[in-house]
Amino acid sequence: MNHSEFWTVLDDVFGSAYGQALAKNLALPELGHRTADELLEAGEPPLAVWGALCREMNVEDKVFHHRVNPKERS
């Protein structure tokens, strides 16, 4: 997963406004209580951040959402 895929699936799964709010405000305990924005800025791999965010939000079934054909995403 690259950065653009991270932002695309964040919007797909949570919606644009809510996804952006989560990235900016939700501290992820398994990655040092930093937000997705902070983690990505610090160089953490986007897939690791996405996985932690999915687990924190209890949507583990979406961890590999970026691998689904965009026409088939729900």
Distance CA 65, CA 69 (A): 9
pTM for this prediction: 0.88
Band of the pLDDT at 73, cuts 50, 70, 90? low
Tens digit of pLDDT for each residue in 33-72? 999 999 999 999 999 999 999 999 999 888 887 777 777 7
Distance CA 43, CA 13 (A): 23
Distances (CA, A) of 60 to 38, 42, 43, 57, 65: 21, 24, 23, 8, 10
